[in-house]
Amino acid sequence: MKNDIRIGNGYDVHVLAEGLPFYLGGVKVEHTKGCIAHSDGDVAIHALCDAMLGALAIGDIGKHFPDTSDEFKGIDSKILLARTCALVRQCGYTLVNADITLLLQRPKIAPYIPQMREALAGVLGTDTGRISIKATTTEKLGFVGREEGVAAYAVVLLAAGE
């Protein structure tokens, strides 16, 4: 197929608990809470990996990196992202752009966004201009608003070729 492009979307949620380190968008965020997870619990990266796998129609993050496997226990999610990126290349595609929306009530994420974009672009071997990260609260509504958890949405576009 000529000009083959593929879109994918991803979504992830993790529960927040007091006293855990908080990893988001490939960086450590200063907070009193962090995510309960088998890996480091980075919802931004998990949503992004799922979006890339979805675009390729090759399953999801749970299929490729099972949370029952000791190999992935406490793993830096940037490693999962690098491995997902390698799958994209193996399938003959390249990332055009990614757009991620983070949902959390606290803390303020804006100061971390440039660092997150650099971290993710670095792992993906692309420019920060191709990686968008936005954040919103949920106006104190729902599990995000009650600070019981954080969520992330990601959309990616892949194109065939280098």
Rounded alpha-carbon distances, angstroms, from residue 59 to 39, 72, 84:
19, 17, 11
Separation CA 91–CA 162 (nearest Å) = 11
Contact segment (CB under 5 A) with Mg ion among 41-49, 94-102, 109-117, 140-148 equals 41-49
Contact segment (CB under 5 A) with Mg ion among 6-14, 28-36, 87-95, 146-154 equals 6-14
Contact segment (CB under 5 A) with Mg ion among 46-54, 102-110, 132-140, 143-151 equals 46-54
Min separation Cβ 145 and Mg ion, Å: 20
Tokens of 151: 């969520």
Using rule CB under 5 A, residue 46 touches Mg ion? yes
Crossing angle of helices 77-90 and 113-124, rounded to 10°: 40
* List of residues contacting Mg ion (CB under 5 A): 12, 46
